[in-house]
Structure 1
């Protein structure tokens, strides 16, 4: 509201300053020519200086503050101070003119001052105190001076000025009240409109969430995820990788610990997935304990940078070739068991070559199908990082896993 008031006041400042300068110059120089009253000249110099300062302030406000988030209250106070000092300057001039001007000059001065008092109501009504003070300062002191002059004609002008000032003050009060009320309603309407827009945004967001967001995890639901994928497939330039995540054993957790614990696991899983995915990726709870991730990036290295590991299975067979290994920048390569089975015949050149490549390309090697101690010895000598096979353990039922782990822990602890 204060900022709107400052905008109104400064919007009328240029015209007000120009009229004040023109009127003051006319009254001082037109009636005193060719001999100018020294007091009036000093007064005019003071008025000119004041108007110059106000002009600079107005120019600064229009250039620097008008289109910024300025302090409305400070701007209004600064403008009101300048306007009220101007009113005091006019009051001094009128009082002086009652005893140092001829009848024609005094009459012209009263008409000019009264006109400015009436016009001020229209240009200052955004600030109530200034709207009332400006015409009061222009008319009341001068009217009193005329009433005390002892000259009948001047006393009549004093009565007329006193009566006119009362009428002007009444009009000024109504005008200021009306303007301030209008500004209040304008700002109140702006607040109401803003609140309504916020409510519409909130309800729109709520509708979107109900139709597109999984309420438990906060991820896209299946429908929204498919719509996003359809949008991606419209352009041949778009490419993405689709990852499927399934939580093994989740049903047993639900059955044993209850749905509350299960829901907490799903929420934590969604949070962790979001932590390691980019903003441009789409994450979806497909249903139950299944999650889908669409990585928009087509560069595997960017996926690896956020923690995605690329593993090549059964190297040496099918599509698991050296070119694929280089193109995918794999993290782990698993050697097919067919190469391990030939170790007994000392055909280990391929595995040795793979280890040399792993050192150059910085990936880990897993050898599968280890069944004898001789195979283990050769593979370890070749520097293979991980071994697996029946030599270490055969497939176990769930109930036997704990016993197996406990037994191996005791052996390694000795």
Structure 2
């Protein structure tokens, strides 16, 4: 027995040493252990069978107890292998018990019976223990697979949630939230490293036309290809973002203005290359605004706003190029914001007022109408109309202000009817004309004021015909059907064409001041051309910006019907207008 145990101990040592240098073969290892265990059980069985005839009753009982205890322990310790556990218990107890049962002595028979009974119980116990252990191992493995599957599903769900919350689904670029997080992190790093960051705000030029004419599906494909082109040029994809619509952001680490402009030019050049689809070859471009950290701003939201501002002004002045934010643009932004905020309450705060400039007959120099001109006094500053009207149009405030002007102009014209039956001319923007309620607003102004419609003139610029021409012509026809006269203001400076004149069927055209100023050079031929066209269509002609008697005489002789300008009067406040009409305190010529 001692020799056998020493052999098994040595075998265990060599087995452990071998496993350190070469992979373990689990089946061979289990078989190796099982053979050693069965050999040990067989040795104990032989020991009991050989010695039991020569030992006394106490030693015999002691032996049966020992092997029973070993069988009992084996039923659980060896439960990992059912065959090994059952063979070990059976070899220890069954042969020895059978041998005792065959002996004539009663006490030996009793010990054999007890051993056989215990052996059967151990076989059953070993079988159940082995089954339980196998079930536990199987469940453990199944649970491990289940846990692995659950972890994989959780990982997939986490990735899906991340993509939903961080990735723009159309382009695959980071969305606003993810980009802002990465930009904030990079700003913190750049602060510590004392480095600059350039933020590029990219807006596609001509994209809206693709959506409107070809369709949003094609527009989406353009956006996808644009995103790929951005990633192709700039490799740090964590700092590229689709900000919204056709706007993209790129943050450039450790950059200066020169590097940022070079990158912007590359991006514009790449974006401007043709987009080729199945049957379409499309061309767009891009305008880029650039803001620098920390020179222009230290907060990510402010940096983006300033880059957007630079892009906006660059698009107005030099589209399809790159421009860097400057202190001048910053002042413009602050002033624009101040005016926008002020306009929202200008009517309620009674800061708006109308002044009236007379339009006179070219033969008699007597007034035939007044043009209503809007003035705005913000605190102690008179804001020029060319500045605040564009802001009102841009931020959607022109509708409210335009309606107020119409109402006030009609009321003023009604008030002077008792002195002189003169018309009032009101400028209307294309945004107002596009309003579905515009005709109703005009009708309401006439009703509220009691002014006959024939005394209202609506002045529009040629730029209205760059919009929805058919709809606008319908609106103009509705005005004329009510007896309201329509004038084309600043004629010849924008979208003039014979087709516009023919379709419009206006009542008057107004020659712009620029041509009146250049009567001595190249302005006169244009004035003569306008007069010929107007005469052919039966329109009256008004010349604006008349500042000298000489200009007035030249225009009168040329055949201009009406004149307007500082030579006759500057725009008059309402209180002075009454004196002007009475011909008292104010001379005709200022």
Provide the TM-score with structure 2 as the length reference: 0.38
Shift in alpha-carbon separation, 1:310–1:247, aligned structure 2, 3 A:
closer
Aligned with residue 226 of structure 2, among 254, 258, 269? 269
Partner of 1:295: 252
Aligned with residue 112 of structure 1, among 56, 62, 66? 66
Aligned with residue 4 of structure 2, among 37, 41, 46? 46
Partner of 1:21: none
Using the TM superposition, give the Cα deviation of residue 259 of structure 1 relative to its aligned residue in structure 2, in angstroms.
2.9
Secondary structure (helix, strand or coil) at the match of 1:214 reads coil
Higher mean C-alpha displacement, 108-117 vs 259-268: 259-268
Shift in alpha-carbon separation, 1:247–1:95, aligned structure 2, 3 A:
farther
Partner of 1:218: 172
Aligned with residue 136 of structure 1, among 82, 90, 93? 90
Partner of 1:373: none
Deviation sequence 1:31-66 (CA, Å, 0-9, x none)? xxxxxxxxxxxxx313421243235546877x899x
Shift in alpha-carbon separation, 1:56–1:103, aligned structure 2, 3 A:
farther
Aligned partners of 1:117 and 1:138 also within 8 Å = yes
Higher mean C-alpha displacement, 78-87 vs 206-215: 78-87
Using the TM superposition, give the Cα deviation of residue 149 of structure 1 relative to its aligned residue in structure 2, in angstroms.
5.2
Matches within 5 A, 1:3-402: 24=1, 44-54=2-12, 56-57=14-15, 76-98=30-52, 105-148=59-102, 153-235=107-189, 236-237=191-192, 239=195, 240-278=197-235, 281-296=238-253
Shift in alpha-carbon separation, 1:255–1:165, aligned structure 2, 3 A:
same
Secondary structure (helix, strand or coil) at the match of 1:204 reads helix
Deviation sequence 1:159-186 (CA, Å, 0-9, x none)? 2211110111222233333333333444
Using the TM superposition, give the Cα deviation of residue 120 of structure 1 relative to its aligned residue in structure 2, in angstroms.
1.4
CA distance in 1, matches of 2:84, 2:28: 15
5+ residue gaps, structure 1, are: 1-23, 25-43, 312-414
Aligned partners of 2:233 and 2:267 also within 8 Å = no
Shift in alpha-carbon separation, 1:140–1:271, aligned structure 2, 3 A:
farther
Shift in alpha-carbon separation, 1:186–1:308, aligned structure 2, 3 A:
farther
Deviation sequence 1:319-340 (CA, Å, 0-9, x none)? xxxxxxxxxxxxxxxxxxxxxx
Using the TM superposition, give the Cα deviation of residue 275 of structure 1 relative to its aligned residue in structure 2, in angstroms.
4.7
Using the TM superposition, give the Cα deviation of residue 118 of structure 1 relative to its aligned residue in structure 2, in angstroms.
1.0
Aligned partners of 1:54 and 1:82 also within 8 Å = no
Secondary structure (helix, strand or coil) at the match of 2:192 reads coil
CA distance in 1, matches of 2:56, 2:167: 87
Secondary structure (helix, strand or coil) at the match of 1:237 reads helix
Shift in alpha-carbon separation, 1:75–1:237, aligned structure 2, 3 A:
farther
Aligned partners of 2:198 and 2:256 also within 8 Å = no
Secondary structure (helix, strand or coil) at the match of 1:233 reads helix
Higher mean C-alpha displacement, 216-225 vs 98-107: 98-107
Secondary structure (helix, strand or coil) at the match of 2:79 reads coil
- Say which structure is richer in helix: 1
Secondary structure (helix, strand or coil) at the match of 1:216 reads coil
Shift in alpha-carbon separation, 1:72–1:285, aligned structure 2, 3 A:
farther
Aligned residue pairs, count: 263
CA distance in 1, matches of 2:205, 2:41: 86
When Rg is computed on C-alpha atoms for both structures, the one with the higher figure is: 2
Secondary structure (helix, strand or coil) at the match of 1:215 reads coil
Using the TM superposition, give the Cα deviation of residue 187 of structure 1 relative to its aligned residue in structure 2, in angstroms.
3.7
CA distance in 2, matches of 1:248, 1:198: 44
Shift in alpha-carbon separation, 1:310–1:200, aligned structure 2, 3 A:
closer
Cα RMSD (Å) of the superposition?
A: 4.1
Shift in alpha-carbon separation, 1:201–1:251, aligned structure 2, 3 A:
same
5+ residue gaps, structure 2, are: 269-590
CA distance in 1, matches of 2:266, 2:29: 62
CA distance in 2, matches of 1:286, 1:292: 6
Aligned partners of 2:82 and 2:130 also within 8 Å = yes
Using the TM superposition, give the Cα deviation of residue 108 of structure 1 relative to its aligned residue in structure 2, in angstroms.
3.6
Provide the TM-score with structure 1 as the length reference: 0.51
Aligned partners of 1:243 and 1:294 also within 8 Å = yes
